[in-house]
Structure 1
């Protein structure tokens, strides 16, 4: 007798910092199609262009998306903050295309330039790393990504133990990209 297929075990999480207006969440209800499309229209995201809203919605919700947010409503002293799409501003993203069990492809990682320098990118990657850890995903075989930034290659190597495995020429974006891969649960 066969058993039912496994279901995703990753419930949405929210990470906060004490005394900070910033937080990170993989709760899909907080994602802002408009904010991500606006970011994709900016020059610093050289790899992306805005999409029609329904396409962007599918892209964000068809993946495990981690949003970086700023609270836009002051909190009352001692009151717990309950984030909603109305009381937050999305200022960053990391999108993991995944089967929630064995594979993850990291894409579309950014923090808006005006919010860089607060350690938000490093914190974002630590949240992604926590969800895609051996403890949370014991059958994870591979995490992959593409990047054209040498500094980011070094950073992903440090955070995920990634290695460059291939190169891709991309004259359409004026950069050469590298494929990087980590095998977090591989036996040595």
Structure 2
């Protein structure tokens, strides 16, 4: 626990406007539409970091079947709240969540936060040659949703 902050996984607590403002400017989902993001969040297990006043300052979501697999996505802490251990605390809460226990595989993709995730057991793919993808890197500029 970090003084002055709370973490919630209540869908009603999430501030879609704030989350969209951050995610739509990120390197991984630049230009994502708010409706598309709302659907993604609704179909995920989401976690928010909040000031005691209720203002949201961080977010992460797990895309999961809650039985065998989960993919961590859209992790952020607003810049003015960084350096306080919030991202580590957020990861601790996520990794301890009852609906994420006993999963066979957890994945994530990151360009710049390897040092954070390795502390929680994440490592480079053991057999990257077994993974494949279909990547539509310009999908958000097409505004399909």
TM interval, short-chain normalised: 0.7 to 0.9
1:48 positional shift: 2.2
Structure having the larger proportion of residues in helix = 2
- Preserved CA contact (<8 Å) 1:37 1:50: no
Deviations 1:118-163 (A, max 9, x none): 1100100000111168xx623x1000011112xx22321221x222
* 4+ long deviations beyond 2 Å: 48-54
Match of 1:48 in 2: 29
2:117 to 156, 166, 174: 156
Aligned length: 131
CA RMSD across the alignment: 2.5
2:81 aligned with 1:118: no
Match of 1:10 in 2: none
- Preserved CA contact (<8 Å) 2:8 2:49: yes
1:53 positional shift: 2.9
Structure 1-normalised TM-score? 0.62
> Could you say what secondary structure the match of 1:60 adopts?
helix
Q: Which of 1 and 2 has higher RCO (CA within 8 Å, sep 6+)?
A: 2
Unaligned runs of 5+ in 1: 1-15, 73-87, 173-188
2:39 aligned with 1:39: no
Give the 5 Å matches for 1:52-71.
52-71=33-52
Larger Rg: 1
Give the 5 Å matches for 1:1-188.
17=2, 20-42=3-25, 45-72=26-53, 88-131=54-97, 137-138=101-102, 140-149=103-112, 152-159=113-120, 161-165=121-125, 166=128
Match of 2:142 in 1: none
CA distance 1:132–1:154, shift in 2 (3 Å)? farther
Structure 2-normalised TM-score? 0.78
